């Protein structure tokens, strides 16, 4: 039997799993007056897969019912738009499904004439509004799927008040003829803040979108996925995958796939050793994700994640460092960042750790441990590390001392590096923390 787990590229619609709540909410908004939605999440959380699932021909009947025949889906990936891609090219591409399905064979109809008027006038907002009005009259709805929407903030041509304003105006005034579903790494708050220069006296450009955060997968969805490996995986294997993946879609699939391959390649090894081998492979990919994520986090978010990680590691290894227990209790201003990290699946509450929080995907905890261990290995002062992470100004002298003590205590437990944590996960030592 071939490996049933997939990672890397967006999954095909028949391999898509979970996200029932998110799908239901987006679909309801589309069929009810063509309301627009923003799918917000970190890379590798399945935003593109969700867009493709919503628009796949094989899923439309089940998702949209009787409305399916009147929906036109158009997909654009913002990171593929060249530097010369202007508004004319944007709308030519966006309206291609309308042209190919309806207008090409009926150019002399009112809809065809409205489209021709758009072409003749460079797809300006006024003529586009007339085209959308004609679409509404004839019962058509264009669903424009924009992947990597935040990339438009850096586009040399489309990053403009004219473009963002026309998107808002057309979607808001079309009475359902145009609906946007955008996928973005940045929240709507961030998008509005980054385009404030264009709308200082008006409404934020993206207030017509409803934000849906794609966070961690529920445990029941992960358990459903892992049934595909029922013949290979033991109960301990499934607990290991749930611990190190933490509901992160990519990490769960990757952990399951690598563990499957470990069984195929190393049949003579013990289950614990196979999990260690899978953990080593998983760590390399998790490090890439976390390095990229860490780069765009605010210093306050980095501070919150570091505090949770340093408080968790001793408990994970069955050690009790009581000055670490107070690390989170003594830093009361982390609550907003912790709540945001929870929404995106990086941390979660834990009743078994005195600090009250833990890093949810174990593989992300490994990355932070390795990151701070390099600080000690190169004899870099902890204050220098704080400066490098842009955290120094947020950390008081008392907090700095507690962070330093937590770091030193953590490093005492990790003398053999991150392998210590991987081995602990493989042996199930962290199992009580995930309960």
87: CATH: 3.40.50.300
Whether 93 is covered by a domain: the verdict is yes
When computed from its CA atoms, the radius of gyration of the chain, rounded to whole angstroms, is 25
Q: How many residues does the chain have?
A: 435
Whether 65 is covered by a domain: the verdict is yes
Q: How many beta carbons lie within 10 A of that of residue 359, not counting itself?
A: 26
Identify whether residues 26 and 137 lie together within a single domain.
Answer: yes
Alpha-carbon distance of 124 to 121, in angstroms, equals 6
Alpha-carbon distance of 273 to 277, in angstroms, equals 6
Alpha-carbon distance of 374 to 385, in angstroms, equals 10
Strand segments, DSSP code E, in 351-412 are: 357-359
Q: Please enumerate in sequence order all residues whose Cβ is within 8 A of that of 106, keeping only pairs 6 or more positions apart, or say none.
A: 112
Last residue of a domain, one of 213, 236, 251: 213
Identify whether residues 268 and 315 lie together within a single domain.
Answer: yes
Domain coverage including residue 31: 20-213
Of 142, 66, 41, 164, which Cα lies nearest the Cα of 97?
142
Q: How many domains does the chain have?
A: 2
Region of residue 138 (phi > 0: left; psi between -120 and 50: alpha; otherwise: beta): alpha
Out of 281-285, 294-298, 323-327, 384-388, pick the least confident.
323-327
Could you give the C-alpha distances from 390 to 176, 290, 303, 395, in angstroms and in order?
Answer: 45, 17, 9, 10
pLDDT digits (tens, 9 = 90+) for 356-410: 889 999 999 999 888 877 766 655 666 777 777 888 778 877 777 777 777 777 7
Alpha-carbon distance of 99 to 116, in angstroms, equals 10
Q: Please enumerate in sequence order all residues whose Cβ is within 8 A of that of 267, keeping only pairs 6 or more positions apart, or say none.
A: none
318 three-class SS = coil
pTM reported for the whole predicted model: 0.91
Alpha-carbon distance of 146 to 430, in angstroms, equals 40
Whether 406 is covered by a domain: the verdict is yes
Whether 169 is covered by a domain: the verdict is yes
pLDDT at 8: 85
pLDDT digits (tens, 9 = 90+) for 229-244: 877 899 999 999 999 9
Whether 61 is covered by a domain: the verdict is yes
Identify whether residues 230 and 207 lie together within a single domain.
Answer: no
Last residue of a domain, one of 183, 213, 243: 213
DSSP designation for 43: T
Identify whether residues 175 and 245 lie together within a single domain.
Answer: no
Identify whether residues 141 and 239 lie together within a single domain.
Answer: no
Identify whether residues 208 and 346 lie together within a single domain.
Answer: no
Whether 228 is covered by a domain: the verdict is yes
pLDDT digits (tens, 9 = 90+) for 59-97: 999 999 999 999 999 999 999 999 999 999 999 999 999
Identify whether residues 201 and 225 lie together within a single domain.
Answer: no
Identify whether residues 297 and 343 lie together within a single domain.
Answer: yes
Identify whether residues 206 and 316 lie together within a single domain.
Answer: no
Asked if 184 and 344 count as a contact pair (C-beta separation under 8 A), the reply is: no
């Amino acid at each position: 039997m071939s490996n049933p787990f997939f990672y890397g590229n967006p999954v095909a619609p028949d391999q898509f799993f979970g996200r029932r709540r998110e799908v239901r909410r987006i679909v309801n908004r589309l069929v009810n007056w063509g309301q627009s939605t923003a799918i917000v999440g970190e890379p590798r959380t399945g935003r593109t897969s969700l867009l493709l699932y919503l628009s796949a021909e094989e899923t439309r009947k089940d998702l949209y019912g009787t409305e399916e025949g009147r929906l036109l889906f158009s997909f654009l990936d913002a990171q593929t738009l060249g530097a010369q891609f202007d508004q004319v090219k944007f709308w030519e591409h966006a309206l291609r499904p309308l042209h190919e399905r309806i207008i090409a064979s009926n150019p002399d109809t009112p809809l065809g004439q409205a489209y021709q008027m758009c072409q003749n006038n460079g797809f300006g907002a006024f003529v586009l509004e007339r085209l959308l009005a004609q679409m509404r009259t004839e019962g058509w709805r264009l669903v424009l799927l924009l992947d990597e929407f935040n990339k438009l903030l850096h586009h040399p041509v489309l990053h403009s008040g004219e473009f963002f304003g026309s998107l808002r105006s057309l979607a808001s005034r079309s009475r359902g003829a145009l609906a946007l579903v955008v996928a973005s790494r940045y929240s709507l708050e961030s998008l509005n803040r980054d385009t404030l220069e264009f709308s200082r006296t008006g409404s934020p450009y993206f207030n017509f979108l409803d934000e849906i955060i794609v966070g961690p997968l529920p445990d029941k969805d992960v358990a459903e996925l892992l049934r595909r490996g029922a013949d290979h995986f033991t109960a301990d294997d499934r607990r290991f995958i749930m611990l190190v993946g933490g509901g992160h879609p990519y990490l769960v699939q990757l952990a399951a796939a690598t563990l499957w391959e470990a069984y195929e390649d190393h049949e003579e090894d013990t289950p614990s050793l196979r999990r260690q081998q899978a953990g080593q492979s998983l760590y390399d990919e998790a490090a890439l994700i976390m390095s990229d994520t860490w780069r765009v986090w605010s210093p306050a978010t980095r501070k919150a994640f570091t505090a949770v990680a340093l408080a968790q590691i001793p408990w994970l290894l069955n050690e009790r460092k009581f000055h670490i227990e107070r690390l989170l209790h003594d830093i009361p201003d982390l609550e907003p960042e912790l709540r945001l990290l929870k929404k995106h699946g990086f941390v979660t509450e834990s009743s078994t750790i005195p600090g009250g929080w833990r890093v949810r995907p174990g593989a992300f905890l490994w990355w932070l441990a390795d990151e701070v261990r390099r600080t000690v290995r190169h004899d870099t002062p902890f204050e220098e590390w704080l400066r490098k992470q842009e955290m120094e100004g947020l950390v008081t002298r008392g907090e700095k001392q507690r962070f330093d003590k937590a770091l030193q205590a953590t490093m005492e437990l990790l003398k053999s590096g991150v392998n210590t944590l991987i081995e602990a996960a493989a042996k199930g030592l962290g199992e009580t923390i995930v309960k």
